[in-house]
């Protein structure tokens, strides 16, 4: 994956009409970045501070019935910075993603070249895997995370990637990728610590960083039991042999979400 492809194919939400494109930005990324950095360096401190934070453009699209889905278009100043960080530090991100044996929505490069990233499996494959994998279990628990992308606490990213103690001791150390991602997401959201953009492929990656570590925590907690976890984005299914096990697994899942400021 390259920065150019992630910007060209993964900047706008897939729901946006194809007339909206970002290839001009992707194709001239180096030139634009150089011009912006040159201009920024010549500004006074108050003007630099003015441009230190941006916010996304928000629009909405129809969902089922009368409800609407809110979509975001991040400001290029911070979105291109986020893309650069993800591409340059991908090996560290991938270490987190590979911890999960439960995720069916890990990001993979789109070989059809429609998007930059797509989920590793589609939802139909996810359902099939659940049905086949849970045939010997008697109890199912299904849960999801309320307003998932909009509720992500950006400080939880360094907690996830480096553990809470390490992240809190080194909260100003931007050589830690978790801190860097946290900072970029906050500065691209008017300094707010809650919520990431809905739409860009980068948000799928951020979401999977968080959820794959939660998967890993669940797997390690219940590895000696015949308890199975299947997850697609924020939808999780837990299969158990007894009601007691189902209750224990769900309560532990709730507790884990709470530790990272997420709500089921």
Residue 229 pLDDT: 96
Q: Distance between CA 202 and CA 58 in Å, rounded?
A: 17
Supply the pLDDT for residue 146: 83
Tokens, residue 260: 């990272």
Three-class SS of residue 70? strand
Cβ neighbors of 89 (< 8 A, separation 6 or more) are 177, 180
Mean pLDDT of all residues belonging to the chain: 94
Instruction: Band the pLDDT of 213: cuts 50, 70, 90.
Output: very high
pLDDT of 5 reads: 97
Domain boundaries defined on the chain: 3-259
Task: Render pLDDT for 49-106 as a digit per residue (tens, 0 to 9).
Answer: 888 999 999 998 888 777 788 999 999 999 999 999 999 999 999 999 999 999 999 9
Report the alpha-carbon distance of residue 148 to residue 234 in Å, rounded.
Answer: 7
Structural Rg of the chain based on CA atoms: 20
Give DSSP secondary structure letters for 42-69. Answer: TS-HHHHHHTT----EEEEEE-STT-EE
DSSP bridge partners of 143: 236
Please give the helix or strand (H or E) that residue 91 lies within, else none. Answer: helix 90-97
Task: Give percent of the chain above pLDDT 70.
Answer: 100
Question: Which residues lie below 8 Å from residue 165, measured CB to CB, with a gap of 6+?
Answer: none
Burial of 165 (0-12, 13-18, 19+ CB in 10 A): exposed
With a CB cutoff of 8 Å and minimum separation 6, the contacts of 233 are: 105, 119, 148, 207, 211
Task: Look at residue 212 and tell me whether its pLDDT is greater than 90.
Answer: yes
Residue with tokens 């994998």: 133
What mean pLDDT comes out for the span 234-238?
96
């Amino acid at each position: 994956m390259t920065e150019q492809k992630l910007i060209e194919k993964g900047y706008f939400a897939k729901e946006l009409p194809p007339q909206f494109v970002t290839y001009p930005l992707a194709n001239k990324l180096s030139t634009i970045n150089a011009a912006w950095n040159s201009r920024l360096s010549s500004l006074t401190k108050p003007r630099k501070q003015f441009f230190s934070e941006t916010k996304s453009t928000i629009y909405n699209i129809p969902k089922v019935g009368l409800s609407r889905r809110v979509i975001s278009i991040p400001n290029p100043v911070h979105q291109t910075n986020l893309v650069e960080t993800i591409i340059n530090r991908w090996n560290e991100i991938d270490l987190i993603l590979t911890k999960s044996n439960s995720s069916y929505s890990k990001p993979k490069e789109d070989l059809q070249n429609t998007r930059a990233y797509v989920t590793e499996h589609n939802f139909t494959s996810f359902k099939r895997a659940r049905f086949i994998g849970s045939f010997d279990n008697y109890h199912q628990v299904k849960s999801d995370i309320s307003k998932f992308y909009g509720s992500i606490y950006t400080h939880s990213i360094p907690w996830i990637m480096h553990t809470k103690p390490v992240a809190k001791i080194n909260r100003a150390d931007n050589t830690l990728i978790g801190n860097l991602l946290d900072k970029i997401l906050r500065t691209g959201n008017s300094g707010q610590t809650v919520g990431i953009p809905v739409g860009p492929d980068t948000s799928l990656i951020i979401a999977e960083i968080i959820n794959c570590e939660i998967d890993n925590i669940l797997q390690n907690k219940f590895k000696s039991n015949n308890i199975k976890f299947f997850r697609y984005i924020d939808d999780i299914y837990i299969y158990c042999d007894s009601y007691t096990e189902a209750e224990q697994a769900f309560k532990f899942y709730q507790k884990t979400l709470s530790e990272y400021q997420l709500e089921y």
